[in-house]
Amino acid sequence: MSAAVVPALAPPRRAWVTDLPLLLVAAVWGASYLAAKGITTTHTVIAVLVLRFAIVLPALAVAGWRGLRALSGAQWRGAGLLGLVLSGIFLLETYGVVHTSATNAGLIISLTMIFTPLAEAAVTRVRPSGAFLAAAGLSVLGVVLLTQGGGFTSPSGGDLLMLLAALARTVHVLAMARIKAVQDADSLSLTTVQLGSAVAVFAVLAAAPGTGPAPWTVAADFGAAEWAGLIFLSVFCTLFAFFVQMWSVRRTSPSRVSLLLGTEPLWAAAVGIAIGGERLGVLGVVGAVLVLAGTAWGRRRADVDAEPGPDRPASA
């Protein structure tokens, strides 16, 4: 996405007009783990994913119809490939949150902010700074402590799935940066094709035997609370979040957008504890603090390391 950077000395009131919607997006994303946990079981993951994205896909297609028609064949293929990766991310995240706490899910997935610069460094063969590696180590230690209950035990299956989801998000980010065909594509059209590809994958899986009840069967069994959770995930966590990002990134800097959206794990922990009644324990609290500190420190170090310097060209 292209972005128009506002002056650094923008009036505080104007800055808050942009910041508040982004904080709302971070908050609803943080709450999405508890919402998904509340309406999903091991047997209904695929059906819920079909319902979640099928609700918003028509609205995105109508809004971006002109851009969709303008996409080239290479852009369609590139966006479709990204959609396949995206489907894997949502499958891992949704199965993961069913088998772990919403707090753990939100904090573990935040490791994407550490994994992405590390993976990029491996691809470009540019060694990250010692400070960034220290931040990464702090985050990993935090996750180890976070996944412990009353003592040192093996991480749950859900914790491991969320860790794989964080790695899959990293692959998605790197693929978006490496697939040249999609770099100049309209953001709305790119997102619509990706979600469409993901829904196609979920629909195929839902039609396969042994993958759980059909989406319409699950929808028929939903009560008011489940429908409220599904609409929250579809409308607020997907449609609202996407359009706020598009609106905000044109009015402020990408770094500020990233910083505000980076508060997602804080909201996930707050919602899980305050509304979901989850408890971390002493080790869990220490681990959560280390994860938040490590990812925040790592994000800042990654920004510093990316700045051009005497020994680093601007193209890096």
CA nearest to 244, candidates 234, 262, 263, 257? 257
pLDDT at site 254: 61
Higher pLDDT, 270 or 257: 270
| 152: number of Cβ within 10 Å | 10
Residue 100, both tokens = 């772990």
Residue 181, both tokens = 């065909």
User: Percentage of the chain surpassing pLDDT 70?
Assistant: 84
Q: What is the pLDDT of residues 131-162, one digit of tens each?
A: 878 888 888 888 777 766 544 556 788 999 99
pLDDT at site 125: 80
2, with CB counted inside 10 A (0-12, 13-18, 19+), is exposed
Q: What is the pTM of this model?
A: 0.81
CA nearest to 28, candidates 260, 187, 298? 260
Pure H helices in 148-186: 157-178, 180-183
Q: What is the pLDDT of residues 226-243, one digit of tens each?
A: 999 999 999 999 889 888
> What's the whole-number average pLDDT of the chain?
82
- State the DSSP string of 77-120: HHHHHHHHHHHHHHHHHHHHHHTS-HHHHHHHHTTHHHHHHHHH
Average pLDDT over residues 285-302: 78
Q: What is the pLDDT of residues 5-64, one digit of tens each?
A: 334 444 445 666 777 888 899 899 989 999 999 999 999 999 999 999 999 999 899 988
pLDDT at site 197: 95
Average pLDDT over residues 207-219: 91
Which residue in the block uniquely carries the two structure tokens 């504890």? 273
